[in-house]
């Protein structure tokens, strides 16, 4: 996967994204993710890889200070159209190179982004960098189970599915290993498909 290819994939897929990833089990999972997050008007909130704005539809964004970024112009176009009357700031930006100062946000929300960016380690490091020392990172994504071996079927399918813009073989434990001294995992629970999709809440180590 690379950024150029991902832009093409999401240009083609943007009209169908909500049909697949904002309905059924995905919609149920997204609702579970956001039902207990105490966003308030004092918080600065960043949505990384906001896509068509599926997550934003599940929160009361009125009066909230929200910045939402995505690398795909086509995805952002759909998100902006949904929230044209809101105060949400939408920016075209690479999640691997966030154009924000250190500790800029109280919440960083990352749904289905670490499994699609070309370099998941750089993306996560950037999310940690822009997170306030008392802030939280909220992740909803798919990862291989810790300390488990991939089946032959998954090993065979992984490069094929990667062509479609997503990776089914990434390890969350491996991603956080590079920043383990800076963060603490406060919650890690299975959400969907026998734990393949997880909700993970992360804070910074003080």
Q: Which tens digit of pLDDT belongs to each residue from 125-181? A: 999 999 999 999 999 999 998 766 666 666 655 555 565 667 778 999 999 988 888
Domain that holds residue 10: 3-204
Q: What is the 3-state secondary structure (H, E, C) of the chain?
A: CCHHHHHHHHHHHHHHHHHHHCCHHHHHHHHHHHCCCCCCCCCEEEEECCCCCCCHHHCCCCCCEEEEEECCHHHHHHHHHHCCCCCCEEEECCCCCCCCCCCCEEEEEEECCCCCCCCHHHHHHHHHHHEEEEEEEEEEEECCCCCCCCCHHHHHHHHHHHCCCCCCCCCHHHHHHCCCCCEEEEEEEEEECCCCEEEEEEEECC
- The structural domain count of the chain equals 1
Give the predicted TM-score (pTM) of the model.
0.90
Residue 72 confidence class, pLDDT cut points 50, 70, 90: very high
Assign residue 191 the CATH number of its domain. 3.40.50.150
For the chain, give the mean pLDDT: 88
Residue 3: pLDDT above 90?
no
Q: What is the pLDDT of residue 19?
A: 77
Q: What is the pLDDT of residue 165?
A: 65
């Amino acid at each position: 996967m690379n950024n150029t290819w991902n832009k093409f994939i999401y240009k083609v897929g943007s009209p169908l994204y909500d049909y697949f990833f904002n309905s059924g089990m995905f919609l149920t999972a997204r609702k579970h993710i956001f039902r207990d997050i105490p966003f308030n008007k004092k918080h600065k909130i960043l949505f990384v890889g906001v896509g068509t704005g599926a997550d934003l539809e599940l929160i009361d964004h009125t009066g909230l200070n929200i910045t939402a970024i995505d690398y795909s112009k086509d995805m952002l176009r759909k998100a902006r159209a949904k929230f044209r009357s809101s105060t949400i700031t939408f920016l075209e930006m690479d999640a691997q190179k966030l154009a924000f100062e250190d500790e800029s946000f109280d919440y960083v929300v990352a749904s289905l982004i670490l499994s699609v960016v070309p370099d998941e380690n750089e993306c996560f490091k950037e999310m940690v960098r822009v997170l306030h020392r008392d802030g939280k990172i909220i992740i909803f994504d798919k990862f291989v189970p810790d300390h488990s071996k991939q089946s032959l079927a998954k090993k065979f399918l992984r490069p094929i599915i990667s062509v479609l813009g997503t990776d089914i073989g990434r390890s969350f434990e491996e991603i956080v290993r590079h920043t383990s001294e800076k963060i603490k995992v406060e919650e890690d629970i299975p959400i969907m498909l026998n734990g393949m999709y997880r909700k993970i809440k992360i804070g910074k180590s003080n």
